[in-house]
Amino acid sequence: MISRSNHLLRQLAVNSGKRCLATNTQMVTVRDALNQALDEEIQRDDRVFILGEEVAQYDGAYKVSKGLWKKYGDDRVVDTPITEMGFAGIAVGAAFAGLRPICEFMTFNFSMQAIDQIINSAAKTFYMSAGRVPVPIVFRGPNGAAAGVAAQHSQDYSAWFAHCPGLKVLTPYDSEDAKGLLKAAIRDDNPVVFLENEILYGVPFPMSEEALKNDFVLPIGKAKIVHEGSDVTIVAYSRGVQLALDAHEQLKKEGINAEIINLRTLRPLDFETIKNSVKKTHHLVTVEYGWPFAGIGAEISAQIVESEAFDYLDAPVLRVTGVDIPMPYTATLEAAALPNAGHVVKTVKKVLNVA
């Protein structure tokens, strides 16, 4: 598992490094960008604290909270027992009482143990209290497929949480996304599900001088056009953005100019950016690692069909997704169950009706 994960990290680092050509930038891993956001927000606001399994003395299972316990102590960085329902409930109760907890799940696969606290307690209370009880809480941790961890530790919960009114759902891709969106999530008065990706933690991305400042915050609900194009719109989020970017490089060699949209936020969805892009390119491909049935791509496709953008399409909306099965453990079958850049290229050519 470790060697497979390291291979993916090296490959992603090489690809991200190719795009670091701007001046006045610094290469920062996603892990360190998240750590910066946590550090700055704990320091900025006395109500902010983080709790979860091994977040304090062990510096976090993935070292995202490294150094924070030594800096801020037991009251601000809290180790919990292995009981997701228990510590998620403590975090929700703290939010009810006016604190701003950051509840870390070692993996979002384990968040299913706390689903009642997330959906019934956190997501619905502001509505059920007629706006009298805000719930400023962040549920964060790695989501989706890692490497060699099989069916019970590889699930993508993006569509699950995006389905639920009352939650905001953020899916960062690179280091600027990670820092700017996490700071926005911590400052938001609503419960936020913050879906990171384990494979991306160790990948360095360029961060601008602005992004390295303490006051850098990205808006929730606003997508980013990573590359402008005219022939086809490719919409992706989280690690799927890397597939879209890799496909963009291959397509460019064949004279196909793709517009790449990094969603950043799944709920509220920035449909305006998608719609305006489709009106320009007349073609749409969505990319995600999750299952196809009732997925994010399916929702985007439905919203396109229900809007005026449908009249601008020259071909059906096509999706690139994970295969509709539980994740296999065997390396070759795992690879076969996940999307890759070749799938994106093939799908774009299909939607454009080119060989």
Pair of tokens at residue 134: 């805000």
**What is the distance, to the nearest Å, from the Cα of residue 106 to the centroid of all Cα atoms in its chain?**
15
Q: Is the dihedral of CA 119, 125, 131, 133 positive or negative?
A: negative
Q: What is the dihedral of CA 116, 120, 126, 132, to 10 degrees?
A: -90
In terms of DSSP bridges, do strands 284-287 and 318-320 run parallel, antiparallel, or are they unpaired? parallel
CA angle 303, 310, 321 (to 5 degrees): 55
User: Taking a C-beta distance cutoff of 8 angstroms, is the pair 210, 216 a contact?
Assistant: yes
In whole angstroms, give the CA distance from residue 62 to residue 246.
26
| Dist. CA 214–CA 41, nearest whole Å | 9
- Which residue is catalytic, options 41, 53, 84, 288? 84
To the query of whether residue 153 is one of the catalytic residues in this protein, the response is yes
The torsion region of residue 23 among left (phi > 0), alpha (psi -120 to 50) and beta comes to beta
Find tokens 């976090």 and name the residue.
60
Q: Which of 54, 153, 163, 227 is catalytic?
A: 153
Tokens read off for 166: 């009352």
Which DSSP symbol is given to 218? P
Amino acid at 192: V
CA–CA distances in Å: residue 170 to residues 199, 232, 239: 17, 25, 13
| Catalytic residue list contains 84 | yes
Instruction: Please name the amino acid found at residue 257.
Output: N
Torsion, CA 69, CA 74, CA 75, CA 79, rounded to 10: 90
Would you name the residues annotated as active-site residues? 84, 153
